[in-house]
Chains A and B, each alone.
Chain A
Amino acid sequence: MTHTDADSVGSRTVADIRLDFPAFTQTSGGLAPAYLDSAATSQRPRAVLDAEREYLEHHLAPVHRGASAAVGLSTTLFEDARAEVARFVGAGDREVVWTENATDAINMVTLGIADANAGLGGADAARFALGPDDEIVLTEAEHHANLIPWQRLAAKTGARLRPIPVDEHGLWSIDDAAAAVSERTRIVAFAEVSNVTGYLAPVADMVELAHRHGALVLLDACQSVPHRPVDFGAMGVDFAAFSGHKMLGPNGIGVLYGRAELLDALPPARTGGSTITKVTMGTAEFLPAPHRFEAGTQPVSQVVALAEAVRYLDAIGMQEVARHEAAFAERVVEGVAAIPGVRIVGPQPGAPRAGLVSVGVDGVHAHDVGQFLDEAGVVVRVGHHCAQPLHRALGLTATTRASAHVYTTAEEADRFVEALAGVRRFFGVEQGVTA
């Protein structure tokens, strides 16, 4: 095997990076499974696990309430972590709101807009209110997390959903978007990187298009923030969402990014302790962002560990991470393209794509493909990947996806391709093979 970008990430070899991950160093005999499901949940380096344990063992205390030194330290760690994550994505400190996950973050926006429609938030929030003449534009490729909340919002407000259709590969272009966006458009929501196709959306053009029509942009950054350099401020998006567990960080923590001016005006969907300035028996006034959205006790240990994940990624360099994963995808695409009866979804060989590859196998259901690969020691995601409209457009019930992160080796890419090549023979659908 030749030494390529797939074997190193910047100045470090993948072999060296893997030593940082307990999941890859605990041997239970035999070949360790090839973990190619990082787009669903990534593994965590020891530094992230240690940061969470360190906080829990030595610094566990409430944040933003009480007066003890312990509270002071816990609060400092909590807010320093926010600053760290904010810097990582080109946001101001007040522009990062902690949420449960990216799904929760998107719901914070849609539920907040519904509150604005109900008259909550006063004149400041009225700018968000939607009506029957308004349209929400989103692509047919969206993850259900960036679709269903908008469906609910449309149902509540009378606004209409306007899809940007995808082609037979699950792809769309800025021209398709331009045909959908009009003066009626109030919101444009799309994923920077598709979790199924690996398509890289034309973010700059989309932001320009939306803003030219006076619409706000919400970016689903779940598959971009963990894998490539992202600067929300420079991009000019209005809102964005991502999850900790896909970026070498913990479960149970996600981020809603919003421009400060918008977050200060958006009604908080969840209310309760810690979000307020003044409360009477009849009324409550809310803090500015981000704390107006962070009701109740926060997942502090996860926040602290997420900041550690950001430091870990930064030390490697996001540009290098992106290059490494692109090399993985190229290697997989090249290998898969040579297998008869296997169809690559999304960008076709030679076209740019993120570090994930989904395929359909003729005559074999994705769950059977996944089972076969599992037995071959290759862990992938099978199913509709929470993107049923996209799969309907592809004419497939389900697909099989291989995805990478910093620790993914070229050898793992090859094992995926090799195992995939045996699927149709096993299930007796290969030409010339009788069942």
Chain B
Amino acid sequence: MSGLDGLYQQIILDHSKARHGEGPLEHAQAEHHELNPTCGDELTMRIRLDPTHERIDEVAWQGNGCSISMASASVLVDLVRGTRVDDALALAEEFRMMLRSRGEGEPDEERLGDAIAFHGVSKYVMRVKCAMLSWVALEAAIAKSRSHDAL
């Protein structure tokens, strides 16, 4: 798949319109607001952890942005809701590596799930930040949940 269809795979277009996890979150332990100053896209990620703080019970986000950033946040929710915090962080790193690949290599579909649809974004350096916006916000929210910044 090449060109625009490689970038805007149907799964991305679908998620950009039917956005999973978009909205407020009650009893969140942590939240983080992330801004992409070059385009003005912004997003607030909120997480609620289980009592042991090892699992993400619920995740939700609110934001404005392009189809890539909105779809990425939507896919993120599907992938990290109910997972262990450490697994979510590992996935974020895996996602980052894929986006830094400049379209090279074969991303691990088993690990990335639907997020593999963003592999095409890695060829568009100006759009990598769009795809990363929600994941960076998630990482920061997790870091906050483990520090005194928790809500």
Contact = CB atoms under 8 A, between A and B. Distances in A.
A364 B8 CA distance: 13
A435 B66 contact: no
A429 B66 CA distance: 14
B127 to A, nearest CB: 7
B13 A427 contact: yes
Interface residues on B, range: 20 to 34
Contacts of B130: 367
Contact of A384 (B4, B14, B40, B64): B40
B65 interface: yes
Interface string A399-432: 0000000000000000000000000001111000
Nearest to A382: B39
Contacts of B3: 375
A379 to B, nearest CB: 12
Contacts of B38: 383
B7 interface: yes
B67 interface: yes
Most A CB within 10 A of own CB, among B13, B17, B67, B130: B67
Interface string A356-399: 00000000111110011001000000111000100100000110
Nearest to B70: A365
Given A383-B40, A397-B41, A367 B17 contact: no
Given A365-B67, A368-B67, A371-B124, A428 B13 contact: yes
Contacts, number: 53
Contacts of A391: 40
B68 interface: yes
B55 to A, nearest CB: 33
Nearest to B14: A435
A34 B67 CA distance: 24
B16 to A, nearest CB: 8
Contacts of A383: 38-40
Interface string B1-39: 001100110000110110000000000000000000011
Contact of A371 (B7, B14, B40, B41): B7
Contacts of B65: 365, 397
A388 B39 CA distance: 10
Contacts of A388: 40
Interface string A151-168: 000000000000000000
Q: Decide if the interface of chain A is mainly helix, strand, loop or mixed.
A: mixed
A365 B69 CA distance: 10
Contacts of B68: 367-368
Interface string A166-182: 00000000000000000
Given A367-B66, A367-B127, A435-B13, A375 B40 contact: no
Contacts of B127: 367, 371
B13 A366 contact: no
Most A CB within 10 A of own CB, among B14, B39, B64: B39
B39 A367 contact: yes
Contacts of B4: 371-372, 375, 426
A292 to B, nearest CB: 35
A384 B130 CA distance: 15
A427 B38 CA distance: 22
B108 to A, nearest CB: 26
Contact of A428 (B17, B40, B64): B17
B22 to A, nearest CB: 15
A365 to B, nearest CB: 4
A142 B41 CA distance: 21
B101 to A, nearest CB: 19
B42 to A, nearest CB: 9
A251 B65 CA distance: 31
Contacts of A368: 8, 66-68
A398 B40 contact: yes
Contacts of B66: 365-368
Most A CB within 10 A of own CB, among B40, B65, B68, B130: B40
Contacts of B124: 371
Given A372-B4, A375-B3, A375-B4, A427 B67 contact: yes
B44 to A, nearest CB: 15
A120 B40 CA distance: 39
A269 to B, nearest CB: 26
Contacts of B17: 428-429, 435
Which 9 A-B residue pairings sit nearest by Cβ, starting from the closest? A365-B66, A367-B66, A375-B4, A397-B40, A368-B67, A368-B66, A384-B40, A383-B39, A367-B39
Given A365-B41, A368-B8, A368-B66, 14 more contacts: A365-B65, A365-B67, A366-B39, A367-B127, A367-B130, A371-B7, A371-B124, A383-B39, A397-B40, A397-B41, A397-B65, A398-B40, A435-B13, A435-B17
Interface of B: 3-4, 7-8, 13-14, 16-17, 38-41, 64-68, 124, 127, 130
Interface of A: 364-368, 371-372, 375, 382-384, 388, 391, 397-398, 426-429, 435
28 contacts: A365-B66, A365-B67, A367-B39, A367-B41, A367-B66, A367-B68, A367-B127, A367-B130, A368-B8, A368-B66, A368-B67, A371-B4, A375-B4, A382-B39, A383-B38, A384-B39, A388-B40, A391-B40, A397-B40, A397-B41, A397-B64, A398-B39, A427-B13, A427-B16, A428-B17, A435-B13, A435-B14, A435-B17
